[in-house]
Amino acid sequence: MHFEPSQTLKNLPEQFFAKLTQKAARYVQQGYDVINLGQGNPDLPTPPHIVAALKKAAENPLYHRYSPFKGHPFLKEAVAQFYEREYHVHLDPETEVAILLGGKAGLVEVSQCLLNPGDVAFVPDPGYPDYWSGIALAGGEMVLMPLTAERCFLPDFSQLSPLHLKKAKLMFLNYPNNPTAAVAVQSLFEEAVALACQHQICVVHDFAYGAIAYDGHQPLSFLQIPGAKEVGIEIYTLSKTYNMAGWRIAFAVGNQSVIEAIELIQDHYHCSLFGAIQEAAAVALLSSQECVDQLRETYQRRRDTFISALQDIGWDVQPPQGSFFAWLPVPDGFDSASFADLLLEESHIVVAPGIGFGPHGEGYVRAGLVSSEETLLKAAERIERLGLFTRMR
């Protein structure tokens, strides 16, 4: 017997990364040595002191029961202290912090919290596809904000139409950016706050890569901008900063009414998160950040090694400013999908075609820096053998 899925499920966008994984898996099953640069799954282990904290906490019988629906107060306190230390942003842990079961969940849930059918949500193009999923679940209308190289991959708010601004309830921003690897300038966030205040729009800043930038740059938190807490929230995940992707732990901070709405919807979806993970997360946030410094240094070396190798073979690429991705223009004669297919079929390298992130992603592929320097150099050597570029040295 076959049961027809609901119209809600039919309206969901295709799961882009699941399809990419399946395509790569077929080549692995055939015995090829596949270099997977297509996903954003950190390859390094969680720092030992965080793992040790989890092991110890797991023995606490208090955590074998249901956790408080809104999360343990000690973790909310830790989040507030983390933001005070890192960004000089004061948060009320009781009313301005929500614990999330992964940043992805929060990014999907916030649309369901704030959008009614027909309401507009502005999303970056290219951008993280799961923004689209939450908007579709809420029945909202998605309006794209083009990110182009000419504008350093920053949106141009002056191009938003008065009609869309009137209907808008949400705006998603994401810096350091996935997939373009751009970083924000303060004036962008200031413009966003002013626009949001004028049109009663909630800004959701996806700060997943907040700890990862290069050449000594420290990414801005949206909440560092005066007035930001009045018009929006920021979503931060421990997945990237502490290599805790599999732990599914993140948080939202900022506007009290939005935090309250997120906690309300989560009351219906979840019964919070295993308490031992929450305790380990607090240890991660409050203990020495030397592991984060070392992680940045690792990605810096990988970035420099990979980009230098690609430039040496004649590929005109720009080094990423933040995140652990490289946004690479496709050679003449290809679109993003056909070039990604060529790399997989001929070089057995997986990259993500830019079109999967939105129409303005066309002309690029995204490569992750979540592989060793040796592997990244091997990928560059395989690309060189395709004969598409003229070696510079």
Residue 258 has φ and ψ, to the nearest 5°, of: -75, -40
| Residue 162 maps to a domain | yes
| Residue 1 maps to a domain | no
Of residues 17 and 153, which shows the higher confidence score? 153
Alpha carbons 229 and 181: distance in angstroms, whole number: 25
Residues 67, 17, single domain; the answer is: no
Between strands 232-237 and 202-206, the pairing is parallel
Q: Does position 24 have pLDDT exceeding 90, yes or no?
A: no
| Residue 150 maps to a domain | yes
Choose the final residue of a domain: 286, 306, 338: 286
Residues 34, 137, single domain; the answer is: no
Residues 202, 222, single domain; the answer is: yes
pLDDT tens per residue across span 28-78: 899 899 999 998 899 999 999 999 999 999 999 999 999 999 999 999 999
Q: What local confidence, expressed as pLDDT, does residue 295 receive? A: 98
CA distances in angstroms from 259 to 25, 70, 95, 301, listed in the order given: 39, 10, 7, 38
**AA letter at 138:** A
**What is the chain's mean pLDDT, rounded?**
96
Choose the final residue of a domain: 251, 270, 286: 286
Q: What local confidence, expressed as pLDDT, does residue 390 receive? A: 80
Q: What is the DSSP letter of 39?
A: S
Domain count, the chain: 2
Which CATH number covers residue 360? 3.90.1150.10
Full 3-state SS string of 145-182: EECCHHHCCCCCHHHCCHHHHHHEEEEEEECCCCCCCC
Which CATH number covers residue 172? 3.40.640.10
Domain that holds residue 23: 7-46+290-384
Supply the pTM of this predicted model.
0.96
Q: What local confidence, expressed as pLDDT, does residue 20 receive? A: 76
Angle CA(203)–CA(208)–CA(212) in degrees, nearest 5? 125
Residues 200, 55, single domain; the answer is: yes
Residues 56, 87, single domain; the answer is: yes
pLDDT tens per residue across span 285-308: 999 999 999 999 999 999 999 999
Six token digits for residue 58 = 């797991």
CA distances in angstroms from 151 to 137, 147, 336, 361, listed in the order given: 31, 7, 21, 14
Alpha carbons 24 and 29: distance in angstroms, whole number: 9
Residues 55, 141, single domain; the answer is: yes
Residues 38, 120, single domain; the answer is: no
Q: For residues 326 and 367, is the Cβ–Cβ distance under 8 A?
A: yes
Confidence of residue 393 (pLDDT cuts 50, 70, 90): low
Choose the final residue of a domain: 252, 270, 286: 286
Q: Does position 141 have pLDDT exceeding 80, yes or no?
A: yes
Alpha carbons 96 and 252: distance in angstroms, whole number: 8
Q: Does position 90 have pLDDT exceeding 90, yes or no?
A: yes
Residues 14, 90, single domain; the answer is: no
Residues 256, 303, single domain; the answer is: no
Alpha carbons 340 and 273: distance in angstroms, whole number: 38
Q: Does position 272 have pLDDT exceeding 90, yes or no?
A: no
254: Cβ contacts below 8 Å, ≥ 6 apart? 96, 222, 223, 228, 229, 232, 233, 234
| Residue 57 maps to a domain | yes
Residues 263, 115, single domain; the answer is: yes
Alpha carbons 20 and 179: distance in angstroms, whole number: 15
Q: Within its chain, how far is the Cα of 245 from the centroid?
A: 11
| Residue 309 maps to a domain | yes
Between strands 168-174 and 120-125, the pairing is parallel
| Residue 21 maps to a domain | yes
Q: What local confidence, expressed as pLDDT, does residue 392 receive? A: 60
